[in-house]
Amino acid sequence: MRVAILTDIHGNRPAFEAAIAAAEAAAADEMWCLGDLVGYGAEPDACVALARKHATVNLAGNHDLAVCDQISLDDFSPGAALAALWTREQMTAEHLRWLGSLAPTGEESAIGLYHASPRDPVWEYVLSTLLAELCLDAQSQRVCLVGHSHVALSFSRRGGEPATGETRSAGSRLELAEGEWLINPGSVGQPRDGDPRAAWLLLDTQAWSAIYQRTDYAISSAQAAIRKAGLPDSLAERLEYGQ
């Protein structure tokens, strides 16, 4: 089965639509979303509607949980907290109820799914081999997918050796048949690895392989929506730079 793995959409409808179209063009059989459908961006209802229509699996991210008032905003940056409050006021009651029903963890085809990490599904940023090693120790599945950090990367451990990891660019291929893996597809709606294109992963669960993908989208449209909504201009500016 070919699965498109998407995460960290953050209310960026143009990026989400472009990634969905690219996944369909790549003949993906299913789509799994690892959380943070909302937050930062100005079109949360549209993104929730797209996820409900296209994704077989949806997790909750920390921004989703905050918008649904399930976790405190105290640990959010001022801009993120402001965007969460704005999103909470803008979304329809139906979409808020659906978003509030999601969990930050899951499992499909013997693959662990976590918004942030196997150790802390809501908050932990796995950006170092040390943290990856701890997560590989904690995870019960051989292969796990995570989001949250907004950086496309992978960590692996084979035959009792220490974990290794690296950031991944478009076209990078992973052979997953052996070893333990912790994989982040990068962010659809707000990449932070210097590449502003929407990031996602095409996973083949039969061949045990995966290819990192980047998709162009109308960044100016996402920026215009943020500015029209009166959200902090920094949330619009950063999209242009992949930061």
CA–CA separation, 16 vs 41, rounded Å? 11
In this model, does residue 159 exceed pLDDT 90? no
191 vs 196: CA distance, rounded Å: 6
Residue 151 has which token pair?
């950086």
Superfamily of domain 2-241: Metallo-dependent phosphatases (3.60.21.10)
Would you say residue 214 has pLDDT above 90?
Answer: yes
Q: What is the mean pLDDT of the chain?
A: 97
Look at the alpha carbons of 122, 22, 166, 173 in this order and tell me if their dihedral is positive or negative: positive
pLDDT bucket at 160, cuts 50 / 70 / 90? confident
